[in-house]
């Protein structure tokens, strides 16, 4: 679409805004009437480890939201000479899971407990056994139940708990709702009804009553909405929070807030049965939309849903790019000592491309990328390690290749657990920051998965782009038009993409690296 048409879309509010609060960046993406990204803005932030809890202060949430939006509005002004006074629809997404607890006056009772925390082992185990359904440590219900087991005083004042996306949506619209995909990381969803599983709610209510908690669990959870549903409008207070300049006007419709897993599925057109995707950022997860239920409960596998409520098997790993990013920052610092200031994005591209010269098995270099605990491999805490054999070929190429391999290692171990399920999956789609350098991480993922991997032109946009598409679906879907159909026929028909098939040498090399990685976890376990 030419710039003149984009200007008209901006003036007439025919654009769609997706904002995603990721682990290291808050990113806003604006798409036009043709579903193409036309402007973006972001804000870098980082979680804090306070008193043993990974958290973000709410002040940082508000500030980051404003900065990301301001950067997007400035991008619109610079490119199209237009102030951003309105958009067609807005959607908020964020990292899934975690625990934001409020009293009846909307006061935060305890610091935000993010998905990264691994402090809820007893609660997760007890709930999994009682429900016959895997409840991972990161899920909101596990955090709530662990607080109950610990006898935390704040529960006496608890009126409501939600996810980060649910919180931001609430502040902008006044609505305590959640998209079904994000809600499925709070509490199990019944795909037949599209809401929380009624029998499991009853079971859980009996459990919590046994610990002296006098309220029904359902009263504490946000309402569940499917993709395309009306989720409120931007209030005057919300408009001031998002855009303190007062340029953005209230009254903009909202779609249901979603989690980053769901927006990743949308961004890669992976919401129909037999589709799968891998999202790679601070954490990494693989999603497969199921044609049939799994044969048994897997403690390492999350059962969540698409934004439309279809059942999804998810392998979620807490650790992906944090250690890699730290090494690249160190190399940038080394260059600065020599008087060379290198753009971080440029450095990533050069280092990723250099990794292609490395040995398929990384030459005996084995990083363990655990900044935090990892449920797939049963670690409650993590510590980054770099191991190498005495005879290792310790080159920059092998070092970089090994660090990218390590980002996929735990995921590959988790996916191996699903091989006996005989899941039918069409080509795997990759998205997220790790795939920004064309043909590198995509190639290594193909080796790790032993399957073709497709990346679209928008692969690096990831979640915020998917959220903007959900906003467009909310406004433009036809009666009875499913999200899968909307994406297939209106968004991705004729979309440009590249597919990489596994290279035999890479497959063998990654398998060798993974054996070394699994051995290295013994050292990891000894020091954490």
Closest CA to 87 of 28, 16, 173: 16
Using the predicted structure, report yes or no on whether residue 487 has a pLDDT greater than 90: yes
In this structure, are residues 315 and 300 in contact, taking their beta carbons and an 8 Å threshold?
Answer: yes
Q: Does 164 score more than 70 pLDDT?
A: yes
Who has greater pLDDT, 87 or 115? 87
How far apart CA 467 and CA 36 sit, in angstroms, is: 13
DSSP at 385: E
> b/e string for 201-237 if b means 16 or more Cβ within 10 A?
bebbbebbeeeebeeebeebbbbbbbbbbebbbbbee
Question: For residue 304, what pLDDT is reported?
Answer: 94
- Asked whether residue 458 carries a pLDDT value surpassing 70, the answer given is no
Look-up of token digits 């999804």: 312
Q: Do 248 and 239 form a contact (C-beta atoms < 8 A)?
A: yes
Residue with tokens 């591209």: 349
Q: What's the average model confidence in pLDDT over 389-399?
A: 97
pLDDT-derived band of residue 169, with 50, 70 and 90 as boundaries? very high
Computed over every residue of the chain, the mean pLDDT equals 93
DSSP category for residue 157: G
pLDDT for 459 equals 58
DSSP assignment, residue 231? Answer: -
Mean pLDDT of 140-156: 97
Tell which residue, 156, 148, 155, has the closest CA to residue 211.
148
Q: What is the pLDDT of residue 460?
A: 58
**Spans of all domains in the chain:** 259-317+421-500, 322-414+504-527
Collapse the DSSP code of 17 into the 3-class scheme (helix H, G, I; strand E, B; otherwise coil) and give the result: strand
Check residue 363 and give its pLDDT: 98
CB 456 within 8 A of CB 268: yes
| In 95-194, beta strands by DSSP E | 100-102, 160-162, 177-179, 189-190
- At 265-304, the pLDDT tens digits run 898 898 998 888 888 888 898 888 988 888 888 887 889 9
Average pLDDT over residues 60-81: 97
When pLDDT is cut at 50, 70 and 90, the band that residue 495 belongs to is: confident
pLDDT at res. 162: 98
Whether domain 259-317+421-500 has CATH 3.30.420.40:
yes
| Residue-level pLDDT at 280 | 87
pLDDT at 1 over 60: no
Does 159 score more than 80 pLDDT? yes
What is the model's pLDDT at position 195?
96
Query: At 421, is the pLDDT very low, low, confident or very high (cuts 50, 70, 90)?
Result: confident
Least confident of 38-42, 194-198, 347-351, 428-432: 428-432
Six-digit token string for 243: 């855009």
Mean local confidence (pLDDT), 316-329:
93
Please, are residues 107 and 35 in contact by the beta-carbon 8 Å criterion? Answer: no
| Mean pLDDT (whole number) for 449-455 | 89
Q: Distance between CA atoms of 505 and 405, rounded to whole angstroms?
A: 14
CA distances from 396 to 324, 328, 354, 387, 511 (A): 13, 11, 8, 14, 21
CA atoms within 13 A on the CB side of 158: 26
Question: In this predicted structure, which of 60-74, 215-229, 408-422 has the lowest mean pLDDT?
Answer: 408-422
pLDDT for res 417: 75
The residues, any chain, with a CB within 8 Å of residue 171's CB and separated by 6 or more, are 62, 237, 238, 241
pLDDT digits (tens, 9 = 90+) for 238-256: 999 999 999 999 999 999 9
Give the position of tokens 């006061």.
Answer: 107
Residue 515's pLDDT is what?
Answer: 97
pLDDT for the residue numbered 316: 85
Instruction: Report the pLDDT value the prediction gives residue 158, as an integer from 0 to 100.
Output: 97
**494 confidence band (pLDDT: 50, 70, 90):** confident
pLDDT score recorded for residue 294? 85
Phi, psi for 315 (deg, rounded to 5) = -95, 110
């Amino acid at each position: 679409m030419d710039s003149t048409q984009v200007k008209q879309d901006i003036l007439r509010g025919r654009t769609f805004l997706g904002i995603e609060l990721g682990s290291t960046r808050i990113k806003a993406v604006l798409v036009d009437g043709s579903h193409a990204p036309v402007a973006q803005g972001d804000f870098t932030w980082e979680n804090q480890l306070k008193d043993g809890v990974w958290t973000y202060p709410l002040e940082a949430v508000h500030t980051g939201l404003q900065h990301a939006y301001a950067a997007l509005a400035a991008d619109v002004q610079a490119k199209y000479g237009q102030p951003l006074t309105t958009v067609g629809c807005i959607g908020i997404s964020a990292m899934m899971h975690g625990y934001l607890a409020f009293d009846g006056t909307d006061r935060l009772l305890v610091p935000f407990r993010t998905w990264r925390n691994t402090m809820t082992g007893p609660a997760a185990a007890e709930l999994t056994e009682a429900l016959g359904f895997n409840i991972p440590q990161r899920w909101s219900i596990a955090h709530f139940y662990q607080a109950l087991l610990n006898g935390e005083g704040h529960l006496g004042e608890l009126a409501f708990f939600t996810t980060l996306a649910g919180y931001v949506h609430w502040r902008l619209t006044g609505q305590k709702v959640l998209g079904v995909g994000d809600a499925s990381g709070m509490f199990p969803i019944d795909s037949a009804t599209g809401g929380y599983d009624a029998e499991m709610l009853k079971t859980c209510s009996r459990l919590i009553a046994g610990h002296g908690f006098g309220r029904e669990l359902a009263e504490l959870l946000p309402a569940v909405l499917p993709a395309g549903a009306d989720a409120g409008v931007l209030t005057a207070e919300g408009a001031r929070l998002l855009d303190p300049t007062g340029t953005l006007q209230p009254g903009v419709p909202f779609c249901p807030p979603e989690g980053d897993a769901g927006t990743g599925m949308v961004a890669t057109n992976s919401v129909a049965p037999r589709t799968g995707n891998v999202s790679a950022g601070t954490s990494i997860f693989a999603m497969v939309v199921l044609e049939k239920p799994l044969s048994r409960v897997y403690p390492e596998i999350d059962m969540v849903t698409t934004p439309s409520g279809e059942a999804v098997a998810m392998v979620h790993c807490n650790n992906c790019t944090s250690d890699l990013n730290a090494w690249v920052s160190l190399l940038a610092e080394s260059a600065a000592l020599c008087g060379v200031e290198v753009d971080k994005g440029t450095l990533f591209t050069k280092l990723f491309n250099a990794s292609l010269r490395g040995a398929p098995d990384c030459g005996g270099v084995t990083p363990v990328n655990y900044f935090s605990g990892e449920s797939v491999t049963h670690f409650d805490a993590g510590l980054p390690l770099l191991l190498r054999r005495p005879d290792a070929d310790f080159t920059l190429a092998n070092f970089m290749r090994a660090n990218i391999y390590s980002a996929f290692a735990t995921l590959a171990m988790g996916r191996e657990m699903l091989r006996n399920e005989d899941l039918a999956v069409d080509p795997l789609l990759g998205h997220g920051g790790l795939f920004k350098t064309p043909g590198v991480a995509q190639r290594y993922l193909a080796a790790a998965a032993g399957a073709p991997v497709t990346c679209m032109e928008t692969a690096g946009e990831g979640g915020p782009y998917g959220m903007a598409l959900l906003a467009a679906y909310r406004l433009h879907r036809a009666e009875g038009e499913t999200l899968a159909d909307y994406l297939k026929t209106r968004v991705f028909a004729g979309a440009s993409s590249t597919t990489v098939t596994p290279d035999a040498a890479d497959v063998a090399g990654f398998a060798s690296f993974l054996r070394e990685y699994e051995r290295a976890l013994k050292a990891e376990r000894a020091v954490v």
